[in-house]
């Protein structure tokens, strides 16, 4: 898949012991949907990290990930395989619209290679470019420790913890964190 | 306006020094919109408590307050005047759908009479009846001290505070609280 005109080639992230990959991140285009859905579906079906129903249909997922957000991006490996995707949207209307919300998914076979970090960094640049002043994650599942750790490393604070706010498919009701980062100096 | 079949007459709340009113709370019906919009509009235009744009149109407000929520209610004074309104909806889809979100507005001329408290109590009963397990307020403007105090009295905790998350029309960027209450014993 060729990079589109607004593709941004980010510095390669190479964690010790993981193979190097040239990840490029670009705007989602319609033709990317089948490959994007292929990585989203198992994550949504698992019911461990995203609040959408585990029975979500492809059409509902398309609305949730592509239509509703203001923009969606894909991360590709050497410009070939879709390995990750994220969306960005205002978290609230009007007077709360300067705070954005993002969601990130990395394909099951592409984990541990820093792709989520790359997408998080990319999303922060995009957010500022689009005029957002802060980024908020509304429901970071407390048992998803690698995500909590990753967002922490990216400068997001746990603003608070919502008791039992996520119905984990295996674990039942578990806590979820609200995480937040100011992107622009107040 | 006659009370509809599912109206619930709540115990009268009488604060010292305020006049007694018989407040009844019932499901919104289409004919209630003009009177409801009359109390919503000045609150939205003021830009001090609700995140919607201060330039919100009546159609957008109808979508926000009536169409998008799962249910909307009105509080009437002696079954005549609409003095307050609130909505209830799931705060997240699917696996976060057991937590509801509500928004409350009291008409400018009806404040200080306990109508917000009555609606808050009513909404908690409705929430449990509709199968919700918790209630979350996503953006309680920190400068709206009477609201923070009222929700606190109703058993809502400040889960965390989002720096600069609300663009107050007069004060600029101010903090907002996430408030939460579990309605069902875990």
Q: Are A156 and A137 spatial neighbours (Cβ–Cβ below 8 Å)?
A: yes
Q: Give residue-wise pLDDT tens across range B22-66.
A: 899 999 999 999 999 999 999 999 999 999 999 999 999 999 999
Alpha carbons A54 and A128: distance in angstroms, whole number: 32
Q: Is the Cβ pair A53, B178 closer than 8 Å?
A: no
Q: Which residue has the tokens 């994650």?
A: A137
pLDDT value at B96 more than 90: yes
Which of B63, B2, B8 has the alpha carbon at shortest distance from B37?
Answer: B63
- Smallest CA–CA distance, residue A62 to chain B, in Å, is 15
Alpha carbons B87 and B50: distance in angstroms, whole number: 13
Average pLDDT estimate for B3-32: 62
Alpha carbons B40 and B107: distance in angstroms, whole number: 7
CB-based contact, A139 to chain B, within 8 Å? yes
pLDDT value at B77 more than 60: yes
pLDDT of amino acid B5: 38
Of A32-46, A68-82, B139-153, minimum mean pLDDT range? A68-82
Which of A179, A166, A136 has the alpha carbon at shortest distance from A48?
Answer: A166
Within chain A, where are the H helices?
33-46, 58-62, 115-129, 145-153
Which of A64, A36, A68 has the alpha carbon at shortest distance from A51?
Answer: A64
Task: For residue A140, give the chain B residue with the closest CA.
Answer: B96
Rounded to a whole number of angstroms, the CA Rg of chain B reads 16
Show which of residues 62-91 on chain B sit within 8 Å of chain A, judged by CB atoms.
64
Show which of residues 96-115 on chain B sit within 8 Å of chain A, judged by CB atoms.
96-99
pTM over 0.90: no
Alpha carbons B82 and B29: distance in angstroms, whole number: 12
- Residues on chain A touching B131 (C-beta within 8 angstroms): none
Q: Are B112 and B145 spatial neighbours (Cβ–Cβ below 8 Å)?
A: no
Q: Are B76 and B82 spatial neighbours (Cβ–Cβ below 8 Å)?
A: yes
Structural domains of chain A sorted by starting position, each given as residue range(s) with its CATH number in brackets = 8-137 (3.40.630.30)
Residue A177 half-sphere exposure toward CB, CA atoms < 13 A: 17
Q: Give residue-wise pLDDT tens across range A123-148.
A: 999 999 999 999 999 999 999 999 99
pLDDT of amino acid B165: 98
Q: How far is CA B117 from CA A168, B103, B124, in A?
A: 33, 12, 11
Res. B186 pLDDT band, cuts 50 70 90: confident
Q: How does B58-82 read in b/e, with b if 16+ C-beta sit within 10 Å? A: eeebbebbbeebebbbbbbbeeebb
pLDDT over 90 percentage in chain A: 83
Which of A154, A66, A178 has the alpha carbon at shortest distance from B165?
Answer: A178
pLDDT of amino acid B20: 53
Average pLDDT estimate for A160-171: 98
CA angle, residues B43, B46, B52, in degrees to nearest 5:
70
Structure tokens at B27: 């499901």
- Smallest CA–CA distance, residue A68 to chain B, in Å, is 13
Q: Is the Cβ pair B168, A95 closer than 8 Å?
A: yes
Which of B161, B167, B102 has the alpha carbon at shortest distance from B137?
Answer: B102
Q: Are B99 and A165 spatial neighbours (Cβ–Cβ below 8 Å)?
A: yes
Average pLDDT estimate for A36-44: 97
CB-based contact, B51 to chain A, within 8 Å? yes
Q: Taking all residues of chain A, what is their mean pLDDT, rounded to a whole number?
A: 90
pLDDT over 90 percentage in chain B: 83
Q: In what order do the strands lie in the sheet with B99-106?
A: B8-9, B23-27, B71-77, B81-90, B99-106, B134-141, B172-182, B157-168
Which of A93, A99, A161 is opposite residue B52, by nearest beta carbon? A93
Q: Is the Cβ pair A162, B56 closer than 8 Å?
A: no
Mutate to test the interface with B, among A93, A94, A171, A178 (most CBs of B within 10 A): A94
pLDDT of amino acid A78: 80
Alpha carbons A56 and A138: distance in angstroms, whole number: 20
Q: Which distant-in-sequence residues (6+ apart) come within 8 Å of B18 by Cβ?
A: B112, B113, B114
pLDDT value at A163 more than 60: yes
pLDDT of amino acid A141: 98
Average pLDDT estimate for A8-17: 41
Q: Is the Cβ pair A173, B186 closer than 8 Å?
A: yes
pLDDT of amino acid A6: 41
Q: Give residue-wise pLDDT tens across range A55-79.
A: 999 999 999 999 999 999 999 998 7
pLDDT value at A20 more than 70: no
């Amino acid at each position: 898949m060729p990079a589109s005109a607004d593709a941004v080639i980010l510095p390669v992230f190479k964690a010790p012991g993981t193979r190097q990959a040239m990840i490029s991140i670009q705007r989602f285009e319609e033709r990317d949907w089948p490959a994007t859905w292929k990585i989203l579906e198992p994550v949504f079906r698992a019911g461990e990290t995203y609040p959408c129903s585990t029975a979500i249909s492809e059409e509902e997922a398309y609305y949730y990930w592509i239509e509703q957000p203001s923009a969606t991006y894909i991360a590709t490996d050497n410009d070939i395989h879709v390995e990750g995707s994220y969306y960005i949207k205002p978290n609230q209307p009007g007077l709360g619209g300067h705070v954005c919300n993002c969601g990130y998914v990395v394909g099951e076979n592409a984990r541990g290679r820093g792709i989520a970090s790359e997408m998080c960094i990319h999303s922060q640049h995009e957010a500022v470019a689009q005029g957002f002043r802060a980024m908020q994650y509304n429901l970071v599942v407390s048992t998803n420790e690698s995500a909590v750790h990753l967002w922490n490393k990216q400068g997001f604070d746990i603003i608070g913890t919502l008791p039992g706010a996520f119905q984990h498919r295996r674990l039942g009701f578990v806590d979820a964190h609200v995480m937040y980062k100011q992107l622009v100096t107040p």
